Amino acid sequence: MFTPRRSRLSDPQEARRPSAGQAEMENDSDDERDDICFEARTDDARRITSILSSICVATSRKADSSASLAWCEVSDTGLTFTVNVSKTLQAIAYVKRKGVFHTWELAMPHRGEVPDERLEFGINLATLLECLKIFGGAAAPNAFERSQTALHISFREGTRCLCLQLNEKASVTECEIHSLEIDQPHKTELKVREGERPPARLVVSSDALKNGIDELEWGGEASRDKRVLLRVSAPSASGPGGLSLTVSSTDVGCEMVYPPEALVSFDVRQDLSFEYRFLHMHMALRSLRDSHQTLLQLDENGTLEIKLRFASSAAANAAELFSHFFLFPLTDEDDIDDEDATASKAAGGGGGGGARDQFDAFD
């Protein structure tokens, strides 16, 4: 639930003129500030809108859709938003503090690598994006190239509300979004030995990957029975190896092959192949057009990690932003419910939570 208020100031100086009862209002304002445990400011709200849009994978506009609910964590390093889709797809967006926000204030109990109290809460991501797009962010062909909108974001401890104030020229919009009581998502990461990289790690141009996915969509909609077989081959005496994506359904099949020279980086030490729901991969890759590089990592159990790297804005010292997805492979037993089958893989997929702290995702 949120309450937007929008006004247009014909004279910006009007906002600075004292009015009757100003002292009483200032006292109320002091009480409100005592309730704020986090606040931050940025001059480019559209970058945040773009990165959060990349993980809003809801296919329904219903308010109770689990795919529209996000778990938000606030720390010294930035904001992390995590969305789970039927326990088969996990999407994570990292918004760095440095290079994105010019003001960042976090209450002392929430600071440090191991804070006394973590600041985390559930939020309706679809509602948050609706607020952020009030000034027309959804219409931008490339959200990073649009005119800037300033954002002031804060969280009130008492009411457990996320408060937004957006400013564009003389227009001001304020929204208050109530946090939600939702389950904290499991922490997923690839199963690899400490200090080692996964057996398959590839970096591909987002444009090249998008063109391939567009070709694979030729067979119709991303229906539930449509599958994608991801195969990586290590270099050997018989060939240089490569990446292939094969989509199949009851009535169509199509394959896209990427040789190593077509990739930005290719590090594959063993042959691997796993099947995933095309619908979920399509959800994860919807924002390819706004990113410029994609990292694919695969472990021996078939957990697929996809990281999208978004270009920094033209502003000096602007940071790159990342969104991050985990997909779990389909099982061979057709009589097992997909959610139950993949839930066990998701629960066993990680123990650390380091994935949620990897703001420099391509390092």
> Mind listing the pLDDT tens digit for each residue in 280-327?
888 888 888 888 899 999 999 999 999 998 876 655 566 778 898 999
First to last CA, the chain: 38
Alpha carbons 25 and 19: distance in angstroms, whole number: 10
Whether the Cβ atoms of residue 179 and residue 122 lie closer than 8 Å to each other: yes
Instruction: Write out the two tokens for 187.
Output: 């922490």
Domains annotated for the chain, with CATH where assigned, are: 34-178 (3.70.10.10), 200-357 (3.70.10.10)
Alpha carbons 284 and 202: distance in angstroms, whole number: 17
Which H or E run contains 268?
strand 265-268
* 95, amino acid identity: V
At residue 148 the predicted structure's pLDDT band, cuts being 50, 70 and 90, is confident
What pLDDT shows up at residue 223? 58
Alpha carbons 154 and 205: distance in angstroms, whole number: 36
User: What pTM was estimated for this model as a whole?
Assistant: 0.77
Whether the Cβ atoms of residue 96 and residue 207 lie closer than 8 Å to each other: no
Residue count of the chain: 363
What pLDDT shows up at residue 58? 66
Q: Cα separations (Å) of 363 from 110, 166, 257, 322?
A: 27, 33, 26, 12
Q: Is residue 33 over pLDDT 70?
A: no
At residue 32 the predicted structure's pLDDT band, cuts being 50, 70 and 90, is low
Burial 169-187 (b: 16+ CB within 10 A, else e): eeebbbbbbbbeeeeebbb
Q: Is residue 272 over pLDDT 80?
A: yes
227 compared with 60, residue with greater pLDDT: 227
Write out 319-332 in H/E/C secondary structure.
CCEEEEEEECCCCC
State the Cα angle at 243 between 241 and 248, rounded to 5°.
130
Instruction: Write out the two tokens for 99.
Output: 């290079």
> Which of 61-70, 110-119, 237-246 is the least confident region?
61-70
> Which of 26-30, 161-165, 176-180, 284-288 is the least confident region?
26-30
Q: Is residue 138 over pLDDT 50?
A: no
How confident is the model over 28-54, as a mean pLDDT? Answer: 82
What pLDDT shows up at residue 42? 94
32 compared with 214, residue with greater pLDDT: 214
Write out 241-253 in H/E/C secondary structure.
CEEEEEEECCCCE
Alpha carbons 216 and 201: distance in angstroms, whole number: 22
What pLDDT shows up at residue 212? 84
- Which tens digit of pLDDT belongs to each residue from 314-362? 555 667 788 989 999 987 653 344 443 333 333 333 333 333 444 455 5
Q: Is residue 277 over pLDDT 90?
A: no
* pLDDT > 90: percent of the chain: 41
What pLDDT shows up at residue 214? 81
What pLDDT shows up at residue 145? 47
Alpha helix ranges (H) inside the chain: 22-34, 45-53, 125-132, 206-216, 278-284, 338-348
